[in-house]
Copies of this chain bind each other. A is one copy, B any other.
Amino acid sequence: MNINHYIQQVGQQARDASRRMAQATTAEKNQALENIANALRAHKDTILSANEKDLENGRACQLDPALLDRLALTPERFEDMVEGLLQIQALPDPVGEISQLNYRPSGIQVGHMRVPLGVIGIIYESRPNVTIDAAALCLKSGNATILRGGSEAFESNQAIAACIQQGLVEAGLPNTAVQVLETTDRDAVGALITADKYVDVIVPRGGKGLIERIARNATVAVIKHLDGVCHTYIDEEADLDKAFNVALNAKTQRYGTCNTLETLLVAQPIAADILPRLAKAYEQAGVELRGCENTLTLLPGVQAAAPEDWDAEYLAPILAIRIVADIDEAMEHIHRHSSGHSESIITENYTKSRRFLREVDSSSVMVNASTRFADGFEYGLGAEIGISTDKLHARGPVGLHGLTSQKWIVLGDGHIRQ
């Protein structure tokens, strides 16, 4: 198979399907999603044994156990996957929404109508549930999709793809509206991210290295999700109980997620009141602490932080702690070291809360809340395709709206320009 030719063909089919998908009614799209859920449940055994084949191959290739774990579809994960699909079905249809339709002095009425982006390419790691998740989000938002999952999940993805095709066709929609690439050839990624004639946007999901590589080589626009070096600043005027709960939750509720706290900043005047208590709780939870010089004075036995700790996304039970003079020094630290993902201030002070919200330039900025809330479900998007650390187009959790654009509509009554 000539890979460029294959991607062109898939791209053209997606482009053609995207036109039909943009006009699909809410009922058609919901029907397709329900059909897919039914097909998945009907072919559960086929999918699980395809997954078993992937796992066997993976074990034979001595894949990393963490990777094998993400690859595995247990019956429970299978049901979660189908449930997630039905949750997306239940979300309101964003397409066609008309907003801000106002009369202008000339007499024309001008407003916005929400429309799909067109063709979305998703490149992701070997997690078969992402195949369904991404397909469902793109389908509901009226887009055509080209999916390229990790090669380790090839058999699982092909089995899932068959169910998606079936669901689309039974709903009267083109089976090319969702295409799972039928190749593990690595060149397919390069061809896909440069297929600007057919693909409107690429959403890569995976490690920072992969995403940086794709962003560098793509000629198609990319919605990037790079790292999450998230901060919480405990202000001098914080309620110490809130500070304790939020700082503990932000680090320990889950370690491997991008919205997990990585550096805790504490105002010097209250450091002695809050840090020993917090340190004890962190240590009980098994979190390794790395502190600045002043932190070490308060918490003897804690390891000294190296300069690279302030830029680290640990994704692990490790926390960097720095004592700062005040909110200005905290925001200066965040400006220098944050990846622009999510930051929180803990304070009871009105003016400082407003300053933090306005001045911190991250995709989520919080007051008295755990950074772990930075998530499409928690924000009410229903589901997310990723969390964008870009500023253009979509920022923060990207749900159905992030997969759409808006066009202008003008209603007149024979109006002409003077």
Could you tell me which A residues sit within 8 Å of B by CB distance?
A: 19, 22-23, 96, 102, 104, 106, 108, 110, 113, 115, 117-118, 200-201, 221, 239, 241-242, 245-246, 248-250, 253, 335, 344, 346, 357-359, 361-370, 372-374, 378-380, 391-393, 395-397, 405-417
Query: In angstroms, how far is the closest chain B Cβ from the Cβ of A411?
Result: 5
Asked if residues A253 and B417 are in contact (CB atoms below 8 Å), the reply is yes
A241-B415 in contact given A200-B392, A393-B393 (Cβ < 8 Å): no
State in angstroms the CA–CA spacing of A345 and B244 once bound together: 62
* A118 CB → nearest B CB, Å: 7
**Are B200 and A391 within 8 A (Cβ)?**
yes
- Evaluate contact between A201 and B365: CB separation under 8 angstroms: no
Question: Can you list 26 A-B pairs with a CB-CB distance of less than 8 A?
Answer: A23-B359, A96-B358, A102-B380, A108-B373, A110-B373, A200-B392, A221-B392, A242-B413, A246-B415, A248-B416, A249-B417, A357-B409, A363-B407, A364-B408, A366-B410, A367-B411, A369-B415, A369-B416, A370-B417, A372-B417, A373-B410, A373-B417, A374-B410, A391-B405, A392-B392, A392-B405
Given contacts A249-B416, A368-B414, A374-B410, 20 further A-B contacts (CB under 8 A): A96-B358, A102-B380, A108-B369, A113-B365, A115-B361, A118-B391, A200-B392, A246-B412, A253-B417, A357-B409, A362-B407, A366-B409, A367-B412, A369-B411, A369-B415, A370-B412, A370-B417, A392-B405, A395-B405, A395-B407
Complex: chain B residue closest to A23, CB-CB: B359
Supposing A113-B357, A115-B361 touch, asked if A374 and B408 sit within 8 A by C-beta, the answer is yes
Give the docked Cα–Cα distance between A113 and B415 (Å).
36
Contacts of A368 in B (CB 8 A): 411-415
Nearest CB in chain B to that of A22: its residue: B361
* A366 touching B412, Cβ below 8 Å: yes
Query: Whole-angstrom distance from the CB of A87 to the nearest CB of chain B?
Result: 14
* Max count, chain B CB within 10 A of own CB: residue among A23, A250, A392, A395: A392
How many angstroms from the CA of A245 to the CA of B418 in the assembled complex?
Answer: 12
A250 to B415, CA, bound (A): 10
Q: Within 8 Å CB of A113, what residues of B?
A: 357-358, 365
The answer to whether A365 and B409 touch across the interface, beta carbons within 8 angstroms, is yes
CA distance A363 to B200 in the complex (A): 15
- Contact residues in B for A364 (Cβ distance below 8 Å): 407-410
A416 and B117 form a contact (CB under 8 A): no
